[in-house]
Amino acid sequence: MLDDTCIFCKIIKGAIPSAKVYEDDSVLIFKDISPKAPVHLLAVPKDHCPTPQDITPERTGTMGKVLAAIGKAAVKEGFASRGYRMLINSGKQAGQEVPHLHVHVLSGRPLGWPPG
């Protein structure tokens, strides 16, 4: 189910445009509008789920679908062989700006650790 107040749900519905990289029945991947690396994608499940704590037993397959979609997008976009980082922020203190579970996918330059 989508949330009419969520910006990612609006992107999923097509009410807000995005630079789509990959889409299937369960996942949408698009370019971040404020990239932190040469490649910065956002992978979102199409079912609104605010945080990992909100994953119910019925949603346990969601993250597997998101990870599989990220792998496909990485190959399609040509950065899989160079490597990439996946990052999930959960909650405001962790830097989550949109309350819809999403994975940041970063690539295109060396990525140090810990992230800044």
- Active-site amino acid positions: 102
Alpha-carbon gap, residue 72 to 70, rounded angstroms? 5
In the chain, what is the straight-line distance between the N-terminal and C-terminal CA atoms, in Å?
34
Task: With H, G, I as helix, E, B as strand and everything else as coil, classify residue 10.
Answer: helix
Q: How far is CA 21 from CA 11, 18, 43, 56, 95, in A?
A: 13, 9, 9, 27, 24
